Amino acid sequence: MNDIIEKAKEYVKDLAGNEVTGHDYYHAMRVYNMALYLAVGKDVDLDIISLAAILHDLDDKKISEKGSKRVETFLNQHVDKMNSARILEIINNMSFSDQIKGKTVESMEGKIVQDADRLDALGAIGIARVFAYTGKTNRMIYQNSIDDDSAIAHFYQKLFKLESLMNTTEAKIIARKRIEFMNKYLKEFFSEWR
């Protein structure tokens, strides 16, 4: 399976190597490394975790065309039907928007990848990703409100909610630390704003 994991990394590098909204190859690699860390000591399938983490954003509507099937294309070529289904089940149910629609990730492997992806939306990198995505979608940094569609408003509307949604204890601990940093950042931001 190790060679297939390497192939998946190459595939994501080719297709999302220079994606500019924070769903790029390096995001996939951070999620992969964090997921392996969160998996330590747990009785889980590391191959499923690895492939789900590496491939998870390739067909995300933020970076690909509607109906894009790049993940399935890869899995059909390299992974048997049963494992493909386990990986797709994770990728198709793990996002924040999926959760709002009532979808849940049932497997422990999925819960770990979901936590790893969410941790990358927090902390210093999380802050960078919010601004990158906001700029790319022609929205403002801030406009004196936390109820509109600005980057700063997104902290309150989504990012700060992620801590309580973490599945694993380890991820909750890292989330807490990263959110403390974001609060420090906001304190400074608002003091400069005034």
Check binding of 121 to ligand ADP (CB under 6 A).
Answer: yes
The helix (run of H) or strand (run of E) holding residue 175 is helix 169-193
Report the residue from 10, 17, 20, 62 that binds ligand ADP according to the rule CB under 6 A.
62
Tell me whether residue 57 or residue 163 sits nearer to Ni ion (CB atom).
57
**Comparing C-alpha atoms, which of 105, 93, 74 is closest to residue 6?**
74
Task: Please tell me whether residue 19 adopts helix, strand or coil conformation.
Answer: coil
Q: What is the DSSP string of 26-59?
A: HHHHHHHHHHHHHHTTS---HHHHHHHHHHTTTT
Q: Which range in 39-47, 70-78, 90-98, 178-186 contacts ligand ADP by CB under 6 A?
A: 90-98
Minimum separation from the CB atom of position 31 to Ni ion (A): 6
Report the residue from 24, 133, 163, 171 that binds ligand ADP according to the rule CB under 6 A.
133
**Comparing C-alpha atoms, which of 101, 92, 99, 109 is closest to residue 164?**
99
DSSP annotation of 143 = -
Q: Which range in 10-18, 44-52, 91-99, 175-183 contacts ligand ADP by CB under 6 A?
A: 91-99
Q: Which range in 4-12, 55-63, 123-131, 171-179 contacts Ni ion by CB under 5 A?
A: 55-63
Minimum separation from the CB atom of position 43 to ligand ADP (A): 26
Report the residue from 115, 129, 171, 178 that binds ligand ADP according to the rule CB under 6 A.
129
The residue at minimum Cβ distance from ligand ADP is 95
Minimum separation from the CB atom of position 56 to ligand ADP (A): 8
Check binding of 117 to ligand ADP (CB under 6 A).
Answer: yes
Q: What is the DSSP string of 71-140?
A: HHHHHHHHS-HHHHHHHHHHHTT-SHHHHHTT----SHHHHHHHHHHHHTTSHHHHHHHHHHHHHHTT--
Tell me whether residue 62 or residue 184 sits nearer to ligand ADP (CB atom).
62
Check binding of 178 to ligand ADP (CB under 6 A).
Answer: no
Helix axes 46-55, 70-78, angle to 10 degrees: 150
Report the residue from 22, 59, 90, 152 that binds ligand ADP according to the rule CB under 6 A.
22
Amino acid sitting at position 111: K
